[in-house]
A and B are shown apart, each in its own frame.
Chain A
Amino acid sequence: MRIRALVIRILQQFYRDKRTVAMMILAPIFILTMVHLVFNSDSYEPEIGLINAPSKLEEALPDNATSIYKTEAAAQKDLAAGKIDGYLQVGSTIHIMVEGSDPSISKSVVEKIRTAFPSTGAASPDIKVDALYGETDMSQFDSFGPILLGFFAFFFVFLVAGVSFLRERTSGTLERLLSSPVRRWEFVLSYVIGFGLFTMIQSAIIVFYAVYILGMMNEGSILLVLLTTLILSLTALTLGILLSTFAKNELQMIQFIPIIVVPQVFFSGLFPLETISRYISWISNITPLYYAGDALKDVMIRGKGLGSIAEPLIILLCFSLLFIVINIAALKRYRKI
């Protein structure tokens, strides 16, 4: 089998290039550990729903009190849907419910309500805080974590796959292969399988390290986390191969990082998407990391199942499929059939 031949060769090359293998596994672990140790927070204007709150409180939160509810059920529904970041219920006690997946947002909700109370004239009240998802004491690392996992899966696979494909072109082996009976689709598919097998191991190691050693929060199934990172790697792989066609050498491949990889970080969910200017926020729809970040957060923080992450996963698979098809067509440049 020609595909088998190509896959075996790709895996042999991994085996020989131990440094790259180490880089793909150890670098993410190293950076994850760093982020685990160092983290910061940023300010964000949360959207708060009010139930039964005095109108003075509403006036004290001019930017934040965006929705008024009659029942808690209605507020909870909007909270789960992400329309508000938290709600405040004033009854016999004061109860704040936050969404919980991003601790910096949770903190800002509580903070805003606390500072609003003195202006209403009431004495500093007893406030009970609950979170819809996650825990109220979730660390910044827990909320960054899923996105970092996605980012590393994307970044390293993109770069290594792109460079190996590029080498195939610059060393003349691509031409040599196309002068053999290999079909263009067999060639592209072999890269997907060969690198797919390797990335499976890579993502497994990184995910297990993050969850079991660094204690990154994971409410959902670890298999779904693996599935999501694997599908994202596939997108990274096919995009890397595709873009390597437009690079003349390794350095030019690296030049794609600030253009292709870094901007995705802004749309990955690492920063609240609500604060991004409307003029560019549409870009999130075409960045693979946005979908992967979404899915990973759903699984790891919100503990959701396959049903609710199916949509982003399918979109990612469509990206990969699109890139594969373009790749196969792009090889026509070298051989017409």
Chain B
Amino acid sequence: MKPGGLIGGATAVLLSVVVFLVPFAFIVLQAMKGKQEAALLEFSWPQDIQLVQNISEVIKARDYVLIIAFINSTILTIASVTLMVICGSMIAYVLQRRQSRINPLVNGLVLAGLIIPPAVVPTIWVMQALHIFKTMPGLILVELAFGLSFTVLTMRAFIGSIPKELDEAAIIDGAGPIRLFFKVIFPLLRSVIVTIIVVQSVFVFNDFQNPLYFLPGEKNATVQLTLFNFQSQYDTSYNLLFTNILLITIPPLIMYIFFNKRIVAGMTAGAVKG
């Protein structure tokens, strides 16, 4: 290794510690402190470590609202991402394989979904008419609608790489469209499905705006909403606030540790064209 690489690397490591690690270390340190010590907002090692007490206090706060929120967020994430994968792959598959006159229209709609900001109040109006406003199924469908475009785009590119001869062989063997797709094609999409699951579940789990609009109220709050409400309710309990932040950051962290490569693949799709 050249000395330039060593010096550049060392400088970069030092900078990265200051810029990126200190804020995370601060979260962890604050979460370990007692109330009075945390209120000082100092970047220091806690005098006595109260992480466990803090966690139990955060969980017990307001009748276990955080546990309920975790359950809600989990249901929301699993349901909406499952629907994205199934509906998105079906659309991407037909869009990629079939030459049809409506393809340009479908392609245009997919791009529109990426660019256009959702119209909030009209969406609420439609949801009220369908009696799904302020309900979990309603929010699940909203997340599906807003996340579909990215899913279709990513999957279409991948399906293009599956040889068409495979379909032809299955058709010749007498497979109908449903069997062809779910038995032959769908299993081959495994790697892109994992990518979509990881990227979209981080996205849905972290979403703040859509739950705020479409699932307001205490009862069905998601973790991001409880964290936000926590701030106003426990204005001076910085230790509990940061314990809450820490707990909510753990699921995406786990996702990242296990699916590092998949996340990178999903998020950089489109960077290398042609």
A and B co-occur in one complex: no
- Name A's B-contacting residues (CB within 8 A): none
